[in-house]
Structures are given as structure tokens and as C-alpha cells.
Structure 1
Amino acid sequence: MSKDLETIKDYYKYTITGKNYGFDINNYQDGQSHFNINTRKHCHFSTPYNRRDFFKICLIIGQGKFKYGKHTLVIDKPTLFLPCPTIPYEWESCSENQEGYFCLFNKEFFHSDASLELFKKTSLFKEWSKPFIFLADAEVESLNNYFMQMYEMAQSSYPLKYEIIRNLVAIVLHKALQLKAEDIHIQEQSPADRLYRLFDNALDNQFPLDSPAYPLLLKTPKDFAQLLNVHVNHLNAIVKKNTGNTTTQVIKNRVFEEAKNLLKHTTWDIAEIGYTLGFDHPTHFNNFFKKYASITPLQFKNTL
């Protein structure tokens, strides 16, 4: 396991055991939508201080301590925890009795459904957002009910269970937005953090793409730097610091996710999709997509 990044495979292999949770690492495949949920009854341990390559939502009932980025917070009341994957964090249990639920999912699960699309434009899971929301008794009861429904549905054999689970995840995220706590004093954003937030918002606000008549406008780091009125080298340094990737990589990753969505959910032909995403020639789009997916856009579409 990388000392800097914990993957889902690392999580299943090292952080928790099949003995406790019954997770089978062989059921996880890179590039495919993945969701899992379980109770927190075995969460009386410490986790490594790492970034993650997956999203996580925890309903924490039990005492413990988080180191989140540069901040430390003691959890002594029921809490909803929605960490940003790129912020390193660790959990240290302070009590044997741990209750509640946690669910984890990868970017394919988060980006592959319209019901979750709008949350990418909110403060949830962002570097600058406050990931801890302390809960009143009534809020604990309602959220516990949603997690319980997710858990029961995940154990079921219903063939469309993940459609229901996505809806329940969306409800939990809506509740999080409603309950956004303002009494957790995390350090104010630095100019660098604000710049990254503006970049991330500008990138997200371009999607989803609705029509080939309105192709992607901001396609390169230089485009974003001009929009934000900063030097491109400064923007590159800020993005690299926050994500671990270059600005070009971040843009291309987002374009690839949108390419998959358009191939799945529209009747546009391959050339139209490529043009809408900013590729002047279909061959350029084919080469780009194949580099990420190892298959052509047409082959991808034919597997749907």
C-alpha cells in the first residue's frame, strides 16, 4: 500500500479483514462502478493517515479522534463524516463500542448516475468543505434509517438494487447539505485554496454537456488560467498540490468521465461526442478514449 494513497483494494486487503466484514477483494474490478456498505461495529481500531482514491460516508456513533489534513477533531457525539478523498485523514477509536454505518464507493459509481450529478457542483467532498456534521437525536434516527435501508438493499438479490441505493445515497447527501454545520472552526481558506476552488468549480460547471451545438469551451490549463486571471504555471502548481495530478491530467480525467456518460446516455454518434468534448478530429477522440479505457469509444458503446 502506498504511504500516500489508499486504494479500495488496499482498504479491503489491509484496513479491514474478511473475517470481520466478509468483503471479497476479487469482487472489485478497476474501472467498474463499485459500492459497499457495512456497520461500524468493528471500527474500534486506527486507520492509516492517507489520501484515498474512493469516496466514503460514515454515520459515526461512538467516541474517537480524527486527524483530517492539518486539523484534529475529537468525536464525542453522533457525527456524519464526508471526507474529501484527496485530503489525508486517520481515525483513532477512543471507545470499544462503535455503532452506525459506513459506505464507500468509487468515482465510477459517483459519476455514472444523473441522480448524483448535481452533488459534484456542491461543496460536498471538496478540499475546502467541512466534512464533519454533528447530529441531533432526530437527525441520527432519520439518517440511521436511510443507511439501514441501503445496507438491507445491498444484501438483497433484487437486480435493480443499486438504482435504489443511489437514490438513498442522494437523500443522505441532500440531508448533509441541509445540515451543513457552521460551528466547526476549520482554518479559513488560503489564497491557494480559493484558487483551486475556483478552478474546480469552473471545471465542474462545464458539465454535463447538453448538445453538440455547445461544445466544451475550457479545454486546457491555459484556458482556465486566462479565465481565473492567473499565470498558468501558478495554476499548475496549485492543482498539483491539491490533487497530486497536473492540471492537464485533471481536465483529461473529467473529460473521460463525461465521454463515458455521453456514450452511455445519448444517441449522439462518436464524431458528435468527440466534437462536443473538444476534439477536432474523430481519430483524436478515439486515441484519447482508447488510452484511458483500452478500447475504442465504439467498442465501449457496443458493450452497454
Structure 2
Amino acid sequence: MNSGIETLSDFYRGRRHIIFPLSTEGVEEGRSHFNIFPRKHCGFRTPYNRRDFYKLTLILGQGEIVYQDQTILIDKPALFMPCPSVPYLWTCLSDDQTGYCSLFNQQFFKGYQDYEIIRTASLFGEDSNPVLFLDTEQVVLISSYFEQMMEAAVSSYVYKNDIIRHLLGLLMHTVLSRVEGKQTDTVNQSSAPELAVRFHELLKRQFPLDSPANPLMMKSPSDFARELNVHVNHLNYVIRNAFGKTTSAVIRDHILDEAKALLLNTQWDISQVGYCLGFEEPAHFNNFFKKNTSVTPLRYRKRIVANI
């Protein structure tokens, strides 16, 4: 199985037979993007890949999902919300496939209050359950959200993206409150275990990085302390107790893992990989990577390609 990164361009390239309501041009330029389409056009089998975008899919039809180390049978209506950094494989088990699929990137929600849902709630997390089975009432409600998003997408209304953002945010709120039965944590000063969880979720949600034009935003303990509204010394104390490492070490390990993934799964220049990870100068990224792996980024990429 291949576990590379499927980009938005890859997604559209493999679905040239579908007429999408919104433009598919310029998707690799780091711009805000959203699209939606009926699942009657879905393929029988998707590649086993990570994605550099979010997908939110209403599945009406039977199928099977291979996700991380589990196989999930879809034998009733379900909402599928995979974490972009987790590779998965979808296989249809019935010819009758309906519902809707929506896809969007982080930029689509930037500057919009409901973007906080994606960043801080339990949706799209690596440890979250990606499949939520729905009862009849929930299918009717969630179908209406997708139908309204589709209507907005095909309309000529100049502010249709605002309508779509509201509907998408409302859909995610519905998932949190009705389906998962969880509420987003809005308390700034959490207990130590809660703070550790919020920090870790905030860190993980920065990955995978989808474009050199969108570099890592939070890369230091002070960045996370500011976002979590706690003193950096308190954050460092909590993280050391929770993970047995300093906050800087936990962040470093995630950045290093992402660096390896980008070197393996993209064709970006070494300087682009470094810049995307927050290193303004290529030499700084080179020194960081060599210090933690004993090889340069270029040497690492060559070894992997050569299967050494």
C-alpha cells in the first residue's frame, strides 16, 4: 500500500468525470478552497493515502474503510471525518452509493470563528473515531445541511462562501452536540491533564502541512502558551509531567516526524520543506535535521529513495 500525500490537485486529477460546482483551478496555490459533490460519482476504491485537505462525507451505501490498524464496515448511514494525516482506504461493497462528499482546506476557515471547531474540538483528530453512524432523524438533518451547501455552491450569490462556512460550521456543531455528545472545551485555565490534552491536540492539528506557502504557525512553547492562555512556565511544568519531556522536545519530535514525511512524500525543495516547518534559513533546517538524525535532509531523502 502507498501512504503518500494526496493533494487537492491529485484528487481532482483522478475525478475528471465529475462536474464540480466550484472551480478546481489554483488549488495548490495556498488559497481558500471548498467543494462538494454527490456521492453517486464516488469511485469503487480510493488509494491508501494521507491527504493535505479535510473531507466530510455523508455515506449512504455499504462499504469498507481501512483506517490506521482497523477495518470498519459501513452497513448503515454514516458520517466519515478522517484525519488528514491518517492514511485510509475506502472500498464500495454495494452499487447503490448516495450521499454527499465535501472537501476543504484550512484556509477556507481562516478568519472565521468556526475554524476553532476544527482546531480545538475532537473532530478530525488522529485519535478520534472517524466514523459516526447516524439514525434516521440525524440523516435527515445532516442531509439538509449538505443539500443547502450544494445549493449555495451552484448559485451566483457573491457571498455564497459565507453561507457555506455557516452551514459547515453548523454541521460540525451538530456532530459535536448530537452525535458525539461532546462539547468544545472553552475553559481557558484547565486542570493539568486537560491542559496537556489541549496542547497535544493543538500541536497535532497543525499537521500535515499542505503547502510551502503555509508555514508552521506555532513552533515554540511560548506560541502554544499564548494560544492556550497560560503562562509558559506553567505549560512547561504540565507537559514535562505528562510526557516526560520538555515542551520544546515534544514540539521538536513532531516537527522532525513531519520533516521526514515531507522529504519522503513530496517533491518540494529542501529549502521549501525547511521554510514550511518554520526555518527561515535553509542552513538552520539542515543543522536541525542533522543534529536529530545524524544525516542531512538531502542525504535522508536519497537514502529513502534508494531504499538504503
The CA deviation string for residues 95-150 of structure 1, in whole angstroms up to 9 with x for no partner, is 11100001000111133312332442111111111111100011101110110000
The CA deviation string for residues 232-269 of structure 1, in whole angstroms up to 9 with x for no partner, is 546533565589479xx99x979x9xxxxxxxxxxxxx
Q: TM-score, normalised by structure 2?
A: 0.64
Corresponding residue for 2:130? 131
Paired with 2:133 and 2:79, the residues of 1 have a C-alpha distance of 6
Corresponding residue for 1:40? 39
- SS of residue paired to 2:65: strand
Please report how far the alpha carbon of residue 181 of structure 1 lies from its aligned counterpart in structure 2 after TM superposition. 4.8
The CA deviation string for residues 168-189 of structure 1, in whole angstroms up to 9 with x for no partner, is 001110111124459xxxxxxx
Corresponding residue for 2:252? 236
The CA deviation string for residues 193-235 of structure 1, in whole angstroms up to 9 with x for no partner, is x999554346599xxxxxxxxx84648xx98765410335465
Corresponding residue for 1:74? 73
Unpaired runs of 5+ residues, structure 2, are 182-193, 206-221, 227-231, 264-271, 282-308
Unpaired runs of 5+ residues, structure 1, are 183-193, 206-214, 257-283, 289-304
Corresponding residue for 1:116? 115
Q: 2:143 is matched by which residue type in structure 1?
A: N
Paired with 2:196 and 2:91, the residues of 1 have a C-alpha distance of 30
- SS of residue paired to 1:114: coil
- Please tell me whether the aligned partners of residues 120 and 202 of structure 2 are also in contact (alpha carbons under 8 angstroms): no
Please report how far the alpha carbon of residue 167 of structure 1 lies from its aligned counterpart in structure 2 after TM superposition. 0.3
Closer, same or farther in 2 for the Cα pair 1:148/1:234, shift >3 Å?
Answer: closer
Paired with 2:148 and 2:12, the residues of 1 have a C-alpha distance of 23
1:152 aligns with 2:176: no
Corresponding residue for 1:21? 19
Closer, same or farther in 2 for the Cα pair 1:28/1:136, shift >3 Å?
Answer: same
Closer, same or farther in 2 for the Cα pair 1:60/1:227, shift >3 Å?
Answer: same
1:11 aligns with 2:11: yes
Paired with 1:170 and 1:253, the residues of 2 have a C-alpha distance of 28
Q: TM-score, normalised by structure 1?
A: 0.65
Q: 1:89 is matched by which residue type in structure 2?
A: Y
Corresponding residue for 1:172? 171
Superposed CA RMSD in Å reads 3.7
- Please tell me whether the aligned partners of residues 62 and 92 of structure 2 are also in contact (alpha carbons under 8 angstroms): yes
Please report how far the alpha carbon of residue 158 of structure 1 lies from its aligned counterpart in structure 2 after TM superposition. 0.2
- Percent identity between the two aligned chains: 36
Paired with 2:245 and 2:44, the residues of 1 have a C-alpha distance of 45
1:87 aligns with 2:86: yes
Paired with 1:120 and 1:253, the residues of 2 have a C-alpha distance of 19
Paired with 1:41 and 1:160, the residues of 2 have a C-alpha distance of 28
Q: 2:99 is matched by which residue type in structure 1?
A: G
Paired with 1:179 and 1:113, the residues of 2 have a C-alpha distance of 23
Closer, same or farther in 2 for the Cα pair 1:238/1:127, shift >3 Å?
Answer: same
Paired with 1:196 and 1:4, the residues of 2 have a C-alpha distance of 30
Q: 1:84 is matched by which residue type in structure 2?
A: C
Corresponding residue for 2:58? 59
Corresponding residue for 2:98? 99
Closer, same or farther in 2 for the Cα pair 1:72/1:147, shift >3 Å?
Answer: same
Closer, same or farther in 2 for the Cα pair 1:95/1:217, shift >3 Å?
Answer: closer
Query: What number of residue pairs does the alignment pair up?
Result: 230
- Please tell me whether the aligned partners of residues 6 and 52 of structure 2 are also in contact (alpha carbons under 8 angstroms): yes
Please report how far the alpha carbon of residue 43 of structure 1 lies from its aligned counterpart in structure 2 after TM superposition. 1.4
- SS of residue paired to 1:21: coil
- Please tell me whether the aligned partners of residues 49 and 90 of structure 1 are also in contact (alpha carbons under 8 angstroms): yes
The CA deviation string for residues 36-66 of structure 1, in whole angstroms up to 9 with x for no partner, is 0010001141000111000010000000000
Corresponding residue for 1:263? none
- SS of residue paired to 1:41: helix
Paired with 2:164 and 2:109, the residues of 1 have a C-alpha distance of 12
Is 81-90 or 24-33 further displaced after alignment?
A: 24-33
Paired with 2:31 and 2:147, the residues of 1 have a C-alpha distance of 24
Closer, same or farther in 2 for the Cα pair 1:30/1:226, shift >3 Å?
Answer: farther
- SS of residue paired to 2:114: helix
- Please tell me whether the aligned partners of residues 45 and 91 of structure 2 are also in contact (alpha carbons under 8 angstroms): yes
